[in-house]
Chains A and B, each alone.
Chain A
Amino acid sequence: MAIHKGRGFACINYPIGMNLGGDPSQALVHSTPDGKFMVSLSSIDLGQGMKSVTRQIAAETLGVPVSDVYVDTADSDTGPHCMGSFASRGTHRVGNAVIRAATEARKALLEAAAEELEVNATDLETDGQGNIQVKGAPGRTITVADTAIAAQFKQGRTLSGRGIFLIPPSDVDPDTGEMTPVSCFAHAALVVDLEVDDETGEVSVTEINSAYEVGRALNPRLVEQQLIGGAWMGVSHALYETTEPYYPDRSHGPVDFNTYLMPGPGEVVNHNIAVLERPAEDAPFGGKGPGEMCANPVLPAIANAVYNAVGVRCDTLPITPEKVLRGILANGGARPQGAR
């Protein structure tokens, strides 16, 4: 009876968004009378950081401080249409819509400022600190706040913009079957080290090393956090979670939180991440989005590592101690595959 070490590898090409039926998102941007900007979306921030990232994108595009931008994800009654937060599409689709809306709002902002400064709008630039100035003449300046007040109460002009980003539907070529369901891919490779106890069948993940290529990391800490949390969820799916452990038989399945198995803070695995930045051409400031792919490669890497450790090939999830033990028994003992 022994503990066997195993190492497994998996890599993934993950589609950002899915446009089988067309994949649009909209954004609306408007200024308040005091020169703050509101971004209205019906996209949902479910913890992945949609509000933070769209706020950064809007501020960067408008040329105003990020603290002067608010994002309201409201709901589908009051916000402009969005297909939703799924398929890792949020940063890419919604971010592009926000860039378009903010570009239109910036144009209105500069036109209003131009009227106040009695110059041509094309001669104006923003300093990112809340001021608009004449290029090459930093003395000729007006604040974004004063511009918004003038637009609202004197000029009768809205500082607003509309944006939509649509990946059009991709039809299947009837002759070749060819289609383009996806325009943007993210990539990752992941190595899992683990130990298998050939007496109990228990699998313990000891370390994860990964490299993720997700375009430009628009908010590096949010990206890292999503990758850590997602990998943990991948470990959980690979080794613990199921509603039907003897599928399709429902017996021994969990009936509530008490009997649903998932790892806790004691099962945290050290995870070293390298984020590679290859900005995508059609992505907002090059950012693709980690999204769902942060959980996916963990599962095959663990299955491969279990095979490497004891020679048991599990083709159903989760990889329970029972499956590992039955596999070892069928093989007539643990069959370590050796170091790779």
Chain B
Amino acid sequence: MTKKPVQFQLNGSPVAVFSDEGQNLLDLLRRGVGDLSPKYGCGQGTCGSCTVIIDGEPRLSCLTLAETVEGQHVETTNGLANGPDLHALQEAFMENFAAQCGYCTPGMLMAAKALLDRTPRPSRAEIVEAISGNICRCTGYEPIIDAILAASGQPTRRTG
């Protein structure tokens, strides 16, 4: 199997790895780089748990050919916290009980970050649209929507 060198920025740091022919980005991140924060859910682009941000856009890493991120900026949940300081979204997810089993959480966080990066104060409808590609089986979504509202400094359904 042919190996292909890939260089890209991962959470602001340069990464140089060999990707296998046809390898997807999720597999490269998890097995090649050792970043386990994007999760393998369905492997067919339906559940959203593998969501990462590539050059500012939310992308399904399981459907992204690894070698196509050459020279691009990839963000994962691992890059959200700054040392001990959690990202505002992580704090809000905690405060609003937006995780139960936690499997969808990394994908939800990245979908939410991509939204807030371009729309700092999104409407509830914009939030619903932004996470509509991410499946959660525990929370009923309401606490996740609340968390994203809270992270953008807006009242939630709870705080009214």
Stretch at the interface among A25-33, A71-79, A139-147, A222-230: A222-230
B123 in the interface (beta carbon within 8 A): no
The verdict on B118 contacting chain A, using a C-beta distance below 8 Å, is no
A258-B143 in contact (CB<8A): no
Q: How far is the CA of A61 from the CA of B138 in the complex (A)?
A: 30
Of the residues A256, A264, A271, contact of B42 by C-beta under 8 Å:
A256
Given contacts A229-B139, A271-B142, could you give 18 more A-B pairs where the C-beta distance is less than 8 Å? A47-B99, A49-B100, A225-B139, A226-B100, A229-B100, A229-B138, A229-B140, A231-B140, A232-B142, A257-B41, A257-B47, A264-B135, A265-B144, A266-B132, A268-B128, A268-B140, A268-B142, A268-B145
Given contacts A257-B44, A264-B135, A266-B132, contact A232 B140 (CB under 8 A): yes
**Nearest chain A CB to B28 CB, angstrom units:** 22
Q: Which of A215-252 contact B (CB under 8 A)?
A: 221-222, 224-226, 228-233
Inter-chain CA distance A221–B147, complex, in Å, is 14
Q: How far is the CA of A315 from the CA of B80 in the complex (A)?
A: 48
- Residue with the highest number of chain B CB atoms closer than 10 Å, among A46, A262, A265: A265
In A187-240, which residues have CB < 8 Å from any B CB? 221-222, 224-226, 228-233
Q: How far is the CA of A256 from the CA of B101 in the complex (A)?
A: 21
Interface check B119, CB cutoff 8 A: no
Judge whether A103 is part of the interface by a CB distance below 8 angstroms.
no
Which residues of A have CB within 8 Å of B143? Answer: 225, 228
Alpha-carbon separation in the docked complex, A48 to B101 (Å)? 7
Q: A77-91: which have CB < 8 Å to B?
A: none
A-contact bits for B114-143, CB 8 A (1 contact / 0 none): 000000000000011001100111111111
With a cutoff of 8 Å between Cβ atoms, the chain A residues found around residue B138 in the complex are 47, 229
CB distance from A247 to the nearest CB of B (A): 22
Nearest CB on B from A271, distance (A)? 8
Interface size class of B (residues with CB under 8 A): 20 to 34
B83 to nearest A CB, angstroms? 20
Per the bound structure, the CA–CA distance linking A229 and B138 in Å amounts to: 5
By the criterion CB–CB under 8 Å, are B135 and A262 in contact? Answer: yes
B46 at interface, CB cutoff 8 A? yes
Q: Is the CB of A233 within 8 A of B140?
A: yes
Residues of B that sit less than 8 Å from A by CB: 41-42, 44, 46-47, 97, 99-102, 127-128, 131-132, 135-145
Cα-based distance from A47 to B41 in the complex (angstroms)? 17
Q: What are the interface flags for A261-280 relative to B under an 8 Å C-beta threshold, 1 for contact and 0 otherwise? A: 01011101001000000000
> Known contacts A46-B101, A222-B97, A233-B140; is A266 also within 8 Å of B135 by CB?
no
Closest B residue to A45 by CB, please name it: B101
27 example contacts (A-B, Cβ-Cβ < 8 A) are as follows: A47-B99, A47-B101, A47-B102, A225-B97, A225-B100, A225-B143, A228-B140, A228-B142, A232-B141, A256-B44, A256-B46, A257-B41, A257-B46, A257-B47, A258-B46, A262-B135, A262-B137, A264-B132, A264-B135, A264-B141, A265-B127, A265-B141, A266-B132, A268-B128, A268-B140, A268-B141, A268-B145
Interface-central residue, B47, B100, B128, B140, by most chain A CB under 10 Å: B140
The 3 closest A-B pairs by CB, nearest first: A232-B140, A47-B101, A47-B100
Contact call A233/B44, Cβ cutoff below 8 A: no
**B127, B131, B137, B138 — most chain A CB neighbours (10 Å):** B138
Closest to B42 in A: A257
- Chain B residues with CB under 8 Å of A224's CB are 97
Docked-complex contact B131 and A265, CB < 8 angstroms: yes
Shortest beta-carbon distance from A221 to chain B in Å: 5
User: Which residues of B are found within 8 Å of A221, using beta-carbon distances?
Assistant: 97
Q: Smallest distance from the beta carbon of B104 to chain A beta carbons, Å?
A: 10
Q: Is the CB of A228 within 8 A of B135?
A: no
Q: How far is the CA of A271 from the CA of B142 in the complex (A)?
A: 10
Is A233 in contact with B97, judged by CB distance below 8 angstroms?
no
Q: How far is the CA of A258 from the CA of B47 in the complex (A)?
A: 9
Tell me which residues across on chain A come within 8 A of B137, comparing CB atoms.
233, 262
Expressed in whole angstroms, the Cα–Cα distance for A49 and B99 within the complex equals 10
CB distance from B126 to the nearest CB of A (A): 11
Query: Which A residues are in CB contact (< 8 Å) with B142?
Result: 228, 232, 268, 271
